[in-house]
Amino acid sequence: MSLYLARISAPDAFSVWLRNYNVALKLWRTEVFPPLAEPTVSIFAFGWGIGSLIASKVMGVPYLTFVGAGILVFTGLLRALFECTYGAYFRMVYQSTYDAILCTPVSVESLAAAEISWGATKAAFDSLIIMAVLLVFGVIQSPWSLLIPVVIVIGAAGLAAMAIAYTASIPSINHFNYFIAVVFCTIWICGAYFPLQQLPIPLQYVAWALPITSVVDVSRDLMTGILRWSTALETVWIILSTVIASEIALRRLRKRMLK
């Protein structure tokens, strides 16, 4: 069985990515400020609110540093999620953008790769903004933090790929309620707001199986400069899960667009 990832044309994928970029430039006011309002307010809330109530450190770091990594990761991941669910669905169904693109020499695989990359690009932009806010709060403690956007981009690409695969599989936009609910439930068990050790053992296994958990954990390690042997293993899992999800996304979108 051949890999659909091998069918991607980088120039074609970049052309589609550039099309999305140009559209975003025209809508930059609504694209930039509203999505960043909630995480920025969350940092203030945790910094001046909950953080002031927690005197002791959590896993050896201040609570704002601990939770800051979770806020940072989910800011990026959720932007990729919404871009490749509702945004992709509108382009695919209501605007017929995908049909127009596929009338050119661009293949379905290159189109899917561009959409996944675009979701990851938005995640990278948002994460840089939030990192600047965290820097003001003194949360960033290590030069290793410069690698956090890379980790978030890889993790966001994996979530974007899963979103594209799901988007290509549903009959109506209302079915996103299931997918969004599942993703938001993972927020509370991935170690973003409290240590995983507080969860029951079976739920801990479920949490560690989720790539999102590894993205949060690796980002926190880089933010604090406390690197462990497990950091490398989790990074490998993030990359592997993203590759698998991307292959599935390419297959599902090809089936949807060429049926």
Question: What is the residue type of 245?
Answer: A
193/73 Cα distance (integer angstroms) = 12
pLDDT tens-place string over residues 250-259: 999 999 998 7
Task: Delimit the domains of the chain by residue range.
Answer: 4-257
Residue 124 confidence (pLDDT):
92
pLDDT at residue number 1: 44
Alpha-carbon distances of 153 from 55, 92, 96, 121, 234, rounded to whole Å? 33, 23, 27, 7, 15
**Cα 46 to Cα 201: distance, rounded to the nearest angstrom:** 27
Neighbours of 26 (CB within 10 A): 8
Percent of the chain with pLDDT over 90: 59
Note if the pTM is more than 0.85: yes
Per-residue pLDDT tens digits for 122-158? 999 988 888 888 888 788 878 999 999 999 999 999 9
pLDDT tens sequence across 59-116: 777 888 888 888 899 888 999 999 999 999 999 999 999 999 999 999 999 999 999 9
Q: Mean pLDDT in the chain?
A: 89
